[in-house]
């Protein structure tokens, strides 16, 4: 059986949004203290026994999260046409982080977006 490593790091940010055409309170301006879990995967360890340094994952993820932190998500260019739902936020974060971290040995595994302690979305583009 081939070995596989999945590394996960956690980040958070605060942002507000309103859901367009939503038939309830979430159509109103409201905010969340979002939490995200970035998971990367690979099978080949480097010369010191790491897939990738957690600092490297976090550095790239923080760059992307900084675009959203303390903003009104509806004003972000990505969400001009898309509703800033947890699902769409997960896709945005996944693809932006993936474009920065992708290498010959490390790929994105999944990204989880928590809008509160009880509700989350897990997104991946794996087969």
The catalytic site residues sit at: 26, 70, 115
User: Do 112 and 37 touch, CB atoms closer than 8 A?
Assistant: yes
Distance in angstroms (rounded) separating the CA atoms of residues 104 and 95: 17
User: Does 30 belong to an annotated binding site?
Assistant: yes
Distance in angstroms (rounded) separating the CA atoms of residues 11 and 75: 22
Residues pairing with 115 in the sheet: none
User: Does 76 belong to an annotated binding site?
Assistant: no
Binding residues: 17, 30, 32
Binding residues for Zn(2+): 17, 30, 32
């Amino acid at each position: 059986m081939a070995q596989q490593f999945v590394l996960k790091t956690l980040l958070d940010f605060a942002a507000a949004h309103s859901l367009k055409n939503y038939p309830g309170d979430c159509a109103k301006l409201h905010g969340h203290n979002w939490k995200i879990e970035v998971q990367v995967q690979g099978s080949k360890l480097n010369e010191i026994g790491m897939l990738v340094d957690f600092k490297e994952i976090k550095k790239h993820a923080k760059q992307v999260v900084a675009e959203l932190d303390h903003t009104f998500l509806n004003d972000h260019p990505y969400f001009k046409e898309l509703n800033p739902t947890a699902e769409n936020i997960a896709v945005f974060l996944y693809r932006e982080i993936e474009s920065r971290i992708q290498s010959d040995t490390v790929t994105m595994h999944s990204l989880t977006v928590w809008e509160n302690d009880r509700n989350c979305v897990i997104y991946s583009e794996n087969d």
